[in-house]
Amino acid sequence: MKFKLAALLAMILPLILVLTGGTSLAKTKPAVTTQSSGPLVLWVDAPRVSAVKAFEKAYPNIKVKMNIINDNIGNDALEGKFQLFNEAGSGWPDAIFTVTNSDISWMTSTKIHYAANLTNLVPKKILNGYAPAANAACHIDGKVMCLRNDDAADVLWYNAKLFKEWGYKVPKTWPQYEALGLKIAKQHPGYYVGLIGDDYTFDRYFWGSGCPANSLVGPNTVKIDLQSPNCTRMVNLLDTLLKAKVLSTAGLFSTASNAVGKKLVMTPGATWYGEFEFNGPWKVPAGEISASSPLVWPGFPYTGDEGGGMWVMSSHISGTLRQDALKFIEFVATNPKNQVNLVPTFPAYGPDEQGWLQKNVVDSHYFVDPQQIVKAFKQAVKMVWTGHPYTEFDPDGIWDTTVVPALEQGKNLKQVWPTYQRELVDYAQLYGYSVKQ
Amino acid sequence: MAASVIAGSPRVPKRKRALTHSAPAVVLVGPFLLVLVVAGALPAVYALVESLISSTTGGFAGLSNYLTVITNFRFLPSFGDVGLLLLVWLPIMVVGVVGLALLVDASRGRFGKTMLFVYYIPAALAGITNFMLWLLILDPNVSPIAFFWKALGQTSIDGLLSSPINVIWILAAMLFYEGSGSWLLIVLGGLHSISDEVIEAAEIDGCNQWRLAWRIKLPMIAPWIGYLVLMNFAYGFQIFLEPQLLAAAAQGILSPQWSPNQLSYTYAYSVGNTGAAAALSVILLIITLGLGVLIVTKTGLLERS
């Protein structure tokens, strides 16, 4: 017995010693390796493969190594990979596309420190091509840390055919939207005016209302005040419509939304709803759908924004490799060969807007009154409220885990609101933010 | 001659005899020990060391990492989640697997073999295929058992998973479906090890099939049942994959920190606090080990071997 114990100790003690040494070594920050040559390593999701192909065609001399990543909205596995690259001191892609906009918060954090500062690397002419609100998500502490791919500002989508049949006027403000919603509930039960069961719901309804769910008020300090009138006015509005049974608790991307989509009379929604929802899984026939300018609160002329991915360049590269990576993100984010000819979403880069609208809205033959849609899109991108930043804790994701289950259980927003506030505070603190309530 | 070798010659020194005796044992146990050290002991010691180090300063942190995780808002709820899951799933698993094994054992011949094959099919599906199958079954809009979900008033996978109790039942069903086939084979192995003489003697004494199963077979396979409980308890307590994938598939309606292991994952890969992640792993290890020892001593798992 004594022998066994001694053997066990003899085995474990050196292990502990080795590991303690190993750990303290691992804790010293890995030397920042800057790679200056080699093939350009690009990480993109499946819909962005065509952009990489177009780049390869335009720059045949630059050797590209492409990795296709799973970048579903809210996929948190990506950050884990970067934690490991930092531990190892190598492995980062030279440029990456992310569809989850809040990723930019950890990519630029002192902990991960992946994104390169583009302020002085990308020509001023290109940076000035973006409307201020269009690239606002990429402006962090006064520096440009990424280039926005597409602008996903919210407009009001509506079924023009039903509106004409039923003799309705398109609402311009949230109170008008509420009044029309109640009218539809009475006159045409079974139809809907919106969906509130997905992780874009907060962005769709509360962003443009100016609701402080994660407002940055100082370094690493956020204000979370869901009792602000900017939030409660929308809570009351949605609860009224929920009670009238004209709001669906289905999520935008769920199979359950397919049936709801066909019964949507109107909904606030991002610029990509036309192609990716109505003409996509919802299968609404051509000649019915149109869009008009964003809904606003009286005296508060702002709208929200749902996604619109970002192109980010690595801070771990230099020399030729960095020049190549710069050429790449400039090409994919701004060149009409990609943004007008290939990209199915509304470009964030201003000079590409008109060409894209002509090709995808005016010439598409799917929409009703395309000129009105063109006007609405152009207007909406300038109206996105810039007071809603992307933080490491995500009000959208927490909406999914907190609010959606409560709605499914038959509660209303007012009932779940204190829980949502508490969870936002808990998660903010988990990620190291100081919280002002 | 052979007998004297086995009995041990008095002229061979005691120490040398012990070595000759243990050489085959070392060969047998060696590879296992190596894997145990590399994949078990080493990570455990690493976690223990890491849990005492601050992720921000890199210096000694005392027990502050433990305090961080214990006071986390998801700490107790996540233990509540797996506790409830174990309470629901383990009894189903044990009664289900042992019951099926006794049935298959009692009906030897072609029918028993066919049923064994049928019960084993789910376990033969590879993990990820199994999971895809579940996603299909769970979504009322595409499910082959849509009528069942509709009868329960469920119209979407979000609605189904929005109730914490539903999540427990669904995970329990998934775990039973994934694991029962393989465990059936293991428990059957135990049943087959009971000698025919014992069974015959019991039958001559007037035991019917029920009494045979209850009085003779069950007590004799107690260690196998203990093993079944132990391994499944450990798996269930450290559950990660099933709720993680379920959350991804149901558009995040499940908390990303549903189980303690997921909370640890969040600390490691999202918050970037490896010390706290390690502290939580150590807590999980201590609980699993403690309960493991309890199960081993109570069922006499190691005594028979």
Task: Indicate which CATH number applies to the domain containing A338.
Answer: 3.40.190.10
Residue A20: its pLDDT value, please? Answer: 44
**Rounded to whole angstroms, how far apart are CA atoms B158 and A75?**
18
Query: Nearest-CA residue of chain B relative to A25?
Result: B58
Instruction: List, for residues A357-376, the tens digit of each pLDDT value.
Output: 999 999 999 999 999 999 99
B71 and B29 housed in the same domain: no
**Closest CA relative to residue A155, chosen from A298, A291, A290, A309:** A291
Mean pLDDT on A205-225: 94
Instruction: Please name the residue that has the structure tokens 């099926």.
Output: B100
Q: Are A182 and A240 in contact (CB under 8 A)?
A: yes
Question: Using 50, 70 and 90 to split pLDDT, how confident is the model at B286?
Answer: very high
In a domain, A293, yes or no: yes
The pTM for the full model equals: 0.84
Q: Would the pLDDT of B186 be above 60?
A: yes
Size of interface A-B (CB pairs under 8 A): 106
B241 and B166 housed in the same domain: yes
> Given CB atoms, is B255 within the 8 Å cutoff of chain A?
yes
Residue B20: its pLDDT value, please? Answer: 61
A27-36, A45-54, A66-75 — most confident range? A45-54
Instruction: Please name the residue that has the structure tokens 């995780």.
Output: B69
Domain count across chain B:
2
Determine, for residues B253 and A255 on separate chains, whether the beta-carbon distance falls below 8 Å.
no
> Given CB atoms, is A75 within the 8 Å cutoff of chain B?
yes
| Chain B environment of A432 (Cβ under 8 Å) | 271
> Given CB atoms, is B29 within the 8 Å cutoff of chain A?
no
A302 and A317 housed in the same domain: no
Q: Pick B158's closest partner by Cβ from A254, A430, A431.
A: A254
B103 and B242 housed in the same domain: yes
Q: Would the pLDDT of B23 be above 90?
A: no
Q: Are A68 and A47 in contact (CB under 8 A)?
A: no
A191 and A48 housed in the same domain: no
A276 and A330 housed in the same domain: no
Question: Tell me, what CATH number does B132's domain have?
Answer: 1.10.3720.10
**Rounded to whole angstroms, how far apart are CA atoms A76 and A84?**
14
Determine, for residues A405 and B155 on separate chains, whether the beta-carbon distance falls below 8 Å.
no
A254 and A383 housed in the same domain: yes
Instruction: List, for residues B124-182, the tens digit of each pLDDT value.
Output: 876 777 777 888 888 888 889 989 998 988 888 888 888 899 999 999 999 998 889 99
Instruction: List, for residues A378-434, the tens digit of each pLDDT value.
Output: 999 999 998 999 999 999 989 999 999 999 889 999 999 999 999 999 999 999 999
Point out which residues pair with B118 in neighbouring strands: none
In a domain, B258, yes or no: yes
**Rounded to whole angstroms, how far apart are CA atoms A391 and A103?**
8
Question: Using 50, 70 and 90 to split pLDDT, how confident is the model at A2?
Answer: very low
In a domain, A35, yes or no: no
Structure-model confidence comparison of residues A362 and B24, the more confident one = A362
B31 and B70 housed in the same domain: no
CB atoms within 10 A of CB A57: 9
Mean pLDDT on B228-239: 92
Query: Nearest-CA residue of chain A relative to B54?
Result: A27
B24 and B84 housed in the same domain: no
B29 and B140 housed in the same domain: no
Q: Would the pLDDT of A4 be above 80?
A: no
Point out which residues pair with A290 in neighbouring strands: A158
In a domain, B50, yes or no: no
Which of A297-311, B119-133, B216-230 shows the lowest mean pLDDT across its residues? B119-133
A94 and A131 housed in the same domain: yes
> Given CB atoms, is B166 within the 8 Å cutoff of chain A?
no
B6 and B87 housed in the same domain: no
B30 and B138 housed in the same domain: no
Q: Pick A27's closest partner by Cβ from B58, B142, B157.
A: B58
A98 and A111 housed in the same domain: yes
Map chain A to HEC letters.
CHHHHHHHHHHHHHHHHHHHHHHHHHHCCCCCCCECCCCEEEEECHHHHHHHHHHHHHCCCCCEEEEECCCCCCCCHHHHHHHHHHHHCCCCCCEEEECCCCHHHHHCCCCCCCECCCCCCCCHHHHCCECCCCCHHHEECCEECCEECECCEEEEEEEHHHHHHHCCCCCCEHHHHHHHHHHHHHHCCCCECEECCCCCHHHHHHHCCCCCCCEEEECCEEECCCCCHHHHHHHHHHHHHHHCCCEECCCCCCCCHHHHHCCECEEEEECCHHHHHHCCCCCCCCCCEEEECCCEECCECCECECCCCEEEEECCECHHHHHHHHHHHHHHHHCHHHHCCCCCCCECEHHHHHHHHHHHHHCCCCCCCHHHHHHHHHHHHHHECCCCCCCCCCHHHHHHHHHHHHHHCCCCHHHHHHHHHHHHHHHHHHCCCEEEC
Q: How close, in Å, is residue B159 to chain A by CA atoms?
A: 5
Q: What is the mean pLDDT of chain A?
A: 90
Q: Pick B158's closest partner by Cβ from A72, A106, A251.
A: A251
**Closest CA relative to residue A105, chosen from A387, A316, A392, A308:** A392
> Given CB atoms, is B39 within the 8 Å cutoff of chain A?
no
Q: How close, in Å, is residue B39 to chain A by CA atoms?
A: 13
Determine, for residues A19 and B53 on separate chains, whether the beta-carbon distance falls below 8 Å.
no
In a domain, B230, yes or no: yes
CA A123 distance to own-chain centroid: 25
Q: Which of B54, B60, B68, B269 to mutate to test the interface with A (most CBs of A within 10 A)?
A: B269
A334: exposed, middle or buried (Cβ count in 10 Å: 0-12, 13-18, 19+): buried
A281: exposed, middle or buried (Cβ count in 10 Å: 0-12, 13-18, 19+): middle
Q: How close, in Å, is residue B97 to chain A by CA atoms?
A: 34
A94 and A216 housed in the same domain: no
A90-104, A221-235, B143-157 — most confident range? A221-235
Residue B17: its pLDDT value, please? Answer: 55
B70 and B25 housed in the same domain: no
Cα–Cα separations (whole angstroms), residue A8 to A15, A16, A206? 11, 12, 60
A180 and A287 housed in the same domain: yes
A321 and A397 housed in the same domain: no
B177 and B31 housed in the same domain: no
Determine, for residues A431 and B254 on separate chains, whether the beta-carbon distance falls below 8 Å.
no
> Given CB atoms, is B22 within the 8 Å cutoff of chain A?
no
| Chain A environment of B265 (Cβ under 8 Å) | 80
Q: Which of A20, A108, A254 to mutate to test the interface with B (most CBs of B within 10 A)?
A: A254
Question: Using 50, 70 and 90 to split pLDDT, how confident is the model at A180?
Answer: very high
Point out which residues pair with A42 in neighbouring strands: A66, A95
Domain count across chain A:
2
Q: How close, in Å, is residue A173 to chain B by CA atoms?
A: 30
Residue B139: its pLDDT value, please? Answer: 86
Q: Which domain holds residue A79?
A: 40-148+309-344
A190 and A253 housed in the same domain: yes
Q: In this structure, what are the phi and psi dihedrals at residue A436, rounded to the nearest 5 degrees?
A: -110, 130
ipTM for the assembly: 0.79
Q: How close, in Å, is residue A248 to chain B by CA atoms?
A: 12
**Rounded to whole angstroms, how far apart are CA atoms A74 and A161?**
35
Q: Which domain holds residue B17?
A: 2-36
Q: How close, in Å, is residue B279 to chain A by CA atoms?
A: 15
A48 and A132 housed in the same domain: yes
B89 and B138 housed in the same domain: yes
In a domain, B159, yes or no: yes
**Rounded to whole angstroms, how far apart are CA atoms B145 and A198?**
25
Q: In this structure, what are the phi and psi dihedrals at residue A244, rounded to the nearest 5 degrees?
A: -80, 0
In a domain, B43, yes or no: no
Instruction: List, for residues B76-104, the tens digit of each pLDDT value.
Output: 999 999 999 999 999 999 999 999 999 99
In a domain, A340, yes or no: yes
In a domain, A9, yes or no: no
| Chain B environment of A250 (Cβ under 8 Å) | 156, 158
| Chain A environment of B50 (Cβ under 8 Å) | 23
Tokens at residue B42, please? 């080493």
A272 and A184 housed in the same domain: yes
